[in-house]
Structure 1
């Protein structure tokens, strides 16, 4: 059995997520490949996709230009697991606004039934690392790096809260979508990546 995992490589923490996903595969004893993907053809061939942190508006615009956004949406709707991190969470959401400037005119995949507040914990200078719990998915303790991190203000009934920090929702799961507002790939803990890989059905 083998899985093919892609990290959307338009912008953001691509290399760090490739390393984390490969480490998680090795820890789980699962054969597979992890690579940077950009084009619709590359995305079409995947079993799972990581949308990394970065600048969500820029990522959305670039994905629109090369047609990747359409293919990503179709693949997720057909059941492909996806892991959205920080900007990836925003891109997956149905609604996003900025804490300071309000409603943003940015392309969204409109798949994750949440309303996201961008920069919910402050700007770049307010970045921090924190220990969080994700008991509902079997991770009692993990670390996350919060960099211009969003939070989830509201969600639909099918969305499961995975983790909160300071009473703000920072991780959720909805079907084949896992999304977090922090950066697990910037720590040595690959628990979140392992859980995501567990959502992928390996090919025989």
Structure 2
């Protein structure tokens, strides 16, 4: 059984842990380097990307995260997690840091503010039925590198992408009770 950590600095930590546990995975929060060392895979949850990056630096996790992800640890970023995995950001705050590794340019809050949040059924490549996706102050992908596979789009922009050991969604698959996107990630971790 793979051990999958959820970066537990801010955001939808409990929801991701519950979803992964429901899939039979050992899931736990990660706040320290020693907890990161236990991970076969990692989820970076939604929340506020600048806050998560600042806390990762304060908790001395930013460089260990970059090292583990750069070395091939399967990682799944949702919403703010997608922003944190992106190599490039549009509309970021001054000096905003990312963990990087995913060859995409992402636009923060692309779908609008909190009041512009919405739900939509998305066709996700590899899944037989649409996923009911929840977009909350969500980013979208403006550009993808050559090695990035687009798995789903909304409003004409990629909202789910995969590159080798990295998976990212603009939406929140931990909301709504559909664990299939997490299942794709668990399969990625188990296949490493």
Question: Corresponding residue for 2:47?
Answer: 54
CA distance in 2, matches of 1:104, 1:183: 26
1:160 equivalenced with 2:149 (yes/no): yes
CA distance in 2, matches of 1:139, 1:155: 24
CA distance in 2, matches of 1:33, 1:110: 25
SS in 2 for 1:20: helix
CA distance change for structure 1 residues 39 and 159 in 2, over 3 Å: closer, same or farther?
A: same
Question: Corresponding residue for 1:184?
Answer: 173
1:76 equivalenced with 2:79 (yes/no): no
Deviation at 1:138, TM superposition (A): 3.1
Relative contact order higher in (CA < 8 Å, ≥ 6 apart)? 1
Q: In the alignment, is the contact (CA less than 8 A) between 1:139 and 1:191 conserved in 2? A: no
Q: In the alignment, is the contact (CA less than 8 A) between 1:95 and 1:116 conserved in 2? A: yes
Which of 27, 33, 46 in structure 2 is aligned with 1:34?
27
Question: Corresponding residue for 2:22?
Answer: 23
1:126 equivalenced with 2:106 (yes/no): no
More strand by share: 1
Length-normalised TM-score, structure 2: 0.95
CA distance in 2, matches of 1:56, 1:158: 24
CA distance in 2, matches of 1:156, 1:173: 11
SS in 2 for 1:189: coil
Structure 1 runs (4+) deviating above 6 angstroms are: none
Question: Corresponding residue for 2:10?
Answer: 11
Length-normalised TM-score, structure 1: 0.90
Which of 94, 106, 116 in structure 2 is aligned with 1:116?
106
CA RMSD, Structure 1 to Structure 2 (Å): 1.5
CA distance in 2, matches of 1:192, 1:62: 27
CA distance change for structure 1 residues 119 and 155 in 2, over 3 Å: closer, same or farther?
A: same
1:199 equivalenced with 2:192 (yes/no): no
Q: In the alignment, is the contact (CA less than 8 A) between 1:3 and 1:202 conserved in 2? A: no
Deviation at 1:96, TM superposition (A): 0.8
Q: In the alignment, is the contact (CA less than 8 A) between 2:8 and 2:31 conserved in 1? A: yes
Consecutive unaligned residues in structure 1, runs of 5 or more: 26-31
Q: In the alignment, is the contact (CA less than 8 A) between 1:92 and 1:109 conserved in 2? A: yes
Question: Corresponding residue for 1:28?
Answer: none
